[in-house]
Chains A and B, each alone.
Chain A
Amino acid sequence: AQSVSQHNHHVILSEAASLELGCNYSYGGTVNLFWYVQYPGQHLQLLLKYFSGDPLVKGIKGFEAEFIKSKFSFNLRKPSVQWSDTAEYFCAVNAGGSARQLTFGSGTQLTVLP
């Protein structure tokens, strides 16, 4: 069965710092990859997605992620975070063997200090 690992459970940064959140998955075939964000008190929103093509994906609010197939990774990056980026971030994978299932990582809580 596929699994998703987010190794950073809680990240604390100051405004303007650069961000990189790790995401690794276990599945050797074709995958769809997602990053979702959950702001305090709000519902899950899609930040960006990868289906095929250019492995560097740009999403909303200045976020981007790079799919590195050889490393089974899909790390999320932002060059300069803002206080409003404080939220929980979830990586998710949709794999060929169980394409109806979106498997989520455990989430990373990002706190940005003003």
Chain B
Amino acid sequence: ETGVTQTPRHLVMGMTNKKSLKCEQHLGHNAMYWYKQSAKKPLELMFVYSLEERVENNSVPSRFSPECPNSSHLFLHLHTLQPEDSALYLCASSQVAGGVGGKNNEQFFGPGTRLTVL
């Protein structure tokens, strides 16, 4: 496997379910990100992890819970979601988080998980 992989690619869940999204990067990067992509809206940054430490949390509801056990893996735990949470959830990684003017914060994206909440 190369690049950034995400599983599952599609997920349908009820509002009372608990599920997890998984992201794995094979690039040796130190920073990982979760984004939400909804129709007709810009990509929304949800969380940023740098060296397994959460460094950004963009006012995301607590029903979304990220976990970064190591620099290669990132999870998004989901519970009691709402139908409006249906979207494409994208994971990305970069060599470092931050560093404007440098070349190491280019982000590489995974294919996303298409989530539908019934």
Contact = CB atoms under 8 A, between A and B. Distances in A.
Interface string B17-49: 000000000000001010000001111010010
Contact of B45 (A30, A43, A101, A105): A101
Contacts of B112: 43
Interface residues of A, number: 29
Given A43-B110, A46-B106, A101-B48, A51 B101 contact: yes
Contacts of B50: 100
Contacts of B61: none
B100 interface: yes
Instruction: Name B's interface SS.
Output: loop
B100 A99 contact: yes
A105 to B, nearest CB: 6
B101 A30 contact: yes
Interface stretch (A15-23, A56-64, A71-79, A89-97): A89-97
Contacts of A34: 106
Interface in A40-55: 42-46, 49, 51-52
A4 interface: yes
Given A32-B101, A96-B100, A99-B98, A44 B90 contact: yes
Contacts of B58: 101
Interface of A: 4, 29-32, 34, 36, 42-46, 49, 51-52, 90, 92, 94-96, 99-107
